[in-house]
Structure formats: C-alpha cells, structure tokens
C-alpha cells in the first residue's frame, strides 16, 4: 500500500453525502443502454445542466462534498463523463445502489451514502490518473512526484514545512520543485499550505474548538496572528464565525 495516499485525508476531512434527487437537482447521474444495463456516469461540479434522455436515467443523486471549501472538488472539471462498460466493479455498485433505493429497507440512506462514496472515490482515481489541463490541486495530485509533497502537507498541516523538505519528499531539486509546483497547482507551496491550513482551521472552529488551540495546531505563532490570517482569507474572525453558527 502506498503510504502517500492521495485521497484518504481529503475523504476524511470533507464528509461526503449521497442522496437520491430529481434530475434537475442531481449532480451524479447514471444512464442505461438500450437494454437497460448501466452504461454511462455523469458527475457535475458546476451549473452545467444534464442534457440526457430522462427515460435512460437509472439513478440520479445529489452529492454533497463540502463544495464551498473542498479544494479537490473545486479543481474538478465542471462535467465529468465516465464510460462504465469497462468498469464492472462500478456497475456492481450502481446495481446495489439501485436495489437499495427501490427496496427502501431500514438504513437505506446510510447505505446509499457509503456506496456513493465508493463510487465517487473510483471516479476521482480515474480523474487523477487522467491528469488535468488546468492548474490546480487535481493537476498536482496527478503528478507522481508533486503528489507526495501535497499529501505530506495534507497529512501534517501543522508542521513547519520548508520548500527544501517538500522538494526532498518529491525527489526533486529545490528549484525544480518550486517551478513544477507553481506550474501544476497554480500557486507556490507556501500559499497552498497556508490555504489548506485555514480550510482545516475553519472546520475546527465550526466544531467549537478554541481559537488558541487551533492556532497552535496549524503552526501559527499566536492567536492574534491566526485571527488576522483567518479574517483576511474568510472575511470574518473565528469568533464571529462561531457566533453566527451558534445562532444558526
């Protein structure tokens, strides 16, 4: 097993929920062929409408994967199309999801989300393997060397990472690493790490963690410095965010 797993931390930090939905609201759709067998899966991250024949829709669902803050979801194409003909495992998952949906037995919502999560992970693997034409996290994770540095930052966000440390993990010279990272991800490693830390910090603040503890957890020298960085990035202080969430 590759200890530099490109998806596990992202799946752990951003809860994924799959719920059946009408075609107009769905973000995940599976179409059948003329014989009724699963043929094509579509996944959309933007406002692109599904231009598909409704009589061929086998399964339609809304996927909630923390879209406002999830950096991988933001890096995906607005519409993804996957041919299921050569993927019998995914076809099996779709059949199980359809069976659960039609049976409506106890625990159906939980099972649908778990099966849907597996289906989405398989889709993400394909996207990482295919690479990306635009700079972003997907392009970085698609590179065998850069992905090791990115996963290291994901897994240990509070560590005092230096470019030299990350370059060593990637197996690149310092100058080559910095050049490749900027070209692939679209920002320097320090900027990506800072944004990743703040995304995680916002999650922790929303859960009620103390500002001082969150600041230390993500490498900030003081709560004041963390609060300034948080407000600059999100437009509000951690305390204000917590108060708003408490009212909600």
User: Per-block average pLDDT, block size 10, for the chain (248 residues)?
Assistant: 75 89 93 93 88 91 84 90 91 92 85 91 91 90 96 96 98 98 97 97 94 96 96 94 82
pLDDT of residue 3: 55
pLDDT of residue 33: 93
As a whole number of angstroms, the distance between CA 32 and CA 89 comes to 16
| Domain span(s) for CATH 1.10.10.60 in the chain | 140-247
pTM for the complete prediction?
0.88
Cα dist from 81 to 119, 131, 178, 200, whole Å: 13, 14, 33, 30
pLDDT of residue 15: 86
pLDDT of residue 243: 87
Smallest Cα–Cα separation from 117: which of 4, 1, 5, 12? 12
The per-type count for the chain, helices as H runs and strands as E runs, is 12, 5
The burial class, CB within 10 Å (0-12 / 13-18 / 19+), for 71 is buried
Please state the separation of Cα 36 from the chain's center in Å: 31
pLDDT of residue 46: 81
Angle at 66 between CA 15 and CA 127, to 5 degrees: 85
Distance between first and last Cα of the chain: 42
Instruction: Give the right CATH number for 140-247 from 1.25.40.20, 3.30.1360.30, 1.10.10.60, 3.40.50.1820.
Output: 1.10.10.60
């Amino acid at each position: 097993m590759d200890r530099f797993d490109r998806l596990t931390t992202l799946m752990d930090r951003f809860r994924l929920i799959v719920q059946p939905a009408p075609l107009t609201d769905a973000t995940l759709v599976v179409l059948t062929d003329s014989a009724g067998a699963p043929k094509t899966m579509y996944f959309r991250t933007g406002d692109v409408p599904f231009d598909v024949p409704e009589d061929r829709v086998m399964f339609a669902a809304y996927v909630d994967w923390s879209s406002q803050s999830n950096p991988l979801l933001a890096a995906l194409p607005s519409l993804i199309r996957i041919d299921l003909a050569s993927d019998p495992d995914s076809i099996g998952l779709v059949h199980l999801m359809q069976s659960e949906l039609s049976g409506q037995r106890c625990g159906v919502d939980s099972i649908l989300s778990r099966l849907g999560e597996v289906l989405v992970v398989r889709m993400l693997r394909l996207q990482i393997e295919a690479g990306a034409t635009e700079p972003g996290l997907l392009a970085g994770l698609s590179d065998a060397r850069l992905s090791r540095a990115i996963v290291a930052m994901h897994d240990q966000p509070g560590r005092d990472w230096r470019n030299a440390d990350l370059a060593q993990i990637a197996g690149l010279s310092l100058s080559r690493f910095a050049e490749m990272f900027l070209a692939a991800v679209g920002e320097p490693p320090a900027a990506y790490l800072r944004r990743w830390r703040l995304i995680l910090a916002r999650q922790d603040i929303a859960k009620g963690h103390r500002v001082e503890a969150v600041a230390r957890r993500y490498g900030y020298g003081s709560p004041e410095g963390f609060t300034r960085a948080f407000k600059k990035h999100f437009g509000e202080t951690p305390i204000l965010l917590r108060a708003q969430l408490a009212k909600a």
